[in-house]
Amino acid sequence: MNLTNILAPTLLVPRHLWAVLLAGGDGARLRDLTVRIAGDDRPKQFCPIVGSESLLRQTRARLDPLFPGDRQVFVVSYAHERYYAEELADAKDSLLIAQPMKRGTAVGIIVALVRVMQVDPDAIVGFFPCDHHYSDDESFRFIVRSATAGAVQFPGSLVIVGAEAECAETEYGWIEPGPGVGEAARRLCRVNRFWEKPALPQARALFQSGCLWNTFATIGNAATFLDLVCAEVPDVVLSLTRAMADNDMVSTYARLPNIDFSGDILARQANKLLVVRDSGSGWADLGSPHRVLCLLAKSASQPAWFRETNGSTLQVRALREVV
């Protein structure tokens, strides 16, 4: 009998629960690795970096037990179609959002929210990057259930997953948890403050004070998401809504600025956030060669490409990133 299932929050999956899988990044910092693994410069989410399947396919498998297939939306980049066409061949066209160009995470999130709310105005939406790794999928699903329970109980707030920090990382967002709230007060807390990629002295202070890493996985009512975004970039929301209605995405994207969801939206709206603590899923952001190599160095099962890379200039480059 699985202990995680016993301890999971008592929650029926909401009828309006949706997942948005974010897979539109270029993955430029991992290009040396993806070329070595796949033989081309495909973005990391379409590459089998950890295990035999791509990070996108692993993300789908991780979420499938929680979200019906007809309520999983994919945000991708049209330029990567040759890499995702086969993997997403089973997805309905209406669930596939192919962005014409890169404009930051917030823009893709806005388009996904508008698309979902056109079908389901009462939707509860979870956003999940497809370039992250979890060593314990069952623990991850337990955390998602906890976050969903928090979103149901506190519909005016977004629930963000915060991983317990292991070092003073300067490339992550950081969350300062506040008082516990609700029925899951030991796990669900208010957010006192949000920092996006702090300088090293600040990161050290945050680590010492017990702050959490932002995993970016966030769940809440679609209307609440849009309210937060509209509070910061209302013109962008209006432009994208009109562009979707008029089928004029290319020219609209060309006029938009780059908007980062964590730095430009969440960091300015910390009073609307709750955080659920993740202490067991083994979350890792595979944002640099150094992180990937360190993760695999600790793994009992190492892929052939990693063993062949041992001691090569690729590892030397990765190590230089943290010198």
3 has pLDDT over 60: no
Cα end-to-end distance, the chain, whole Å = 46
Report yes or no on 323 lying in a domain: no
Confidence of residue 50 (pLDDT cuts 50, 70, 90): confident
Report yes or no on 71 lying in a domain: yes
Report yes or no on 305 lying in a domain: no
- The b/e string for 125-146 (b: 16+ C-beta within 10 A; e otherwise) is bbbbbbbbbbeebbbbbbbbbb
Pick the range with the lowest mean pLDDT from 186-190, 206-210, 213-217, 220-224.
Answer: 186-190
Q: Which domain holds residue 145?
A: 15-287
Report yes or no on 248 lying in a domain: yes
Per the CB < 8 A criterion, the answer to whether 160 and 274 are in contact is yes
Q: What's the structural domain count of the chain?
A: 1
- Report how far residue 283's alpha carbon sits from residue 279's, in angstroms, rounded to the nearest whole number: 9
- Report how far residue 263's alpha carbon sits from residue 119's, in angstroms, rounded to the nearest whole number: 29
Closest C-alpha to 188, from 197, 179, 199, 196: 179
Per the CB < 8 A criterion, the answer to whether 134 and 63 are in contact is no
The percentage of residues in the chain with a pLDDT greater than 90, rounded to a whole number, is 72
Of residues 47 and 320, more confidently modeled: 47
* Res 298: pLDDT: 78
128 has pLDDT over 70: yes
216 has pLDDT over 90: yes
Report yes or no on 28 lying in a domain: yes
Q: In sequence order, which ranges of the chain are alpha helices (DSSP H)?
A: 3-7, 31-38, 55-63, 81-84, 105-119, 137-153, 200-208, 222-232, 234-246, 249-255, 289-297, 304-309, 313-320
Q: For residue 39, what is the DSSP state?
A: S
- The b/e string for 255-275 (b: 16+ C-beta within 10 A; e otherwise) is ebeebbbbbbbbbebbebbbb
* Res 322: pLDDT: 39
* Res 309: pLDDT: 63
* Res 28: pLDDT: 83
Report yes or no on 148 lying in a domain: yes
Report yes or no on 76 lying in a domain: yes
32 has pLDDT over 90: no
pLDDT in tens, 274-286: 999 998 999 999 8
The CATH number of residue 163's host domain is 3.90.550.10
Report yes or no on 308 lying in a domain: no
Neighbour-count burial of 38, counting CB atoms closer than 10 A to its CB (0-12 exposed, 13-18 middle, 19+ buried): middle
State the residue for tokens 């980062």. 260
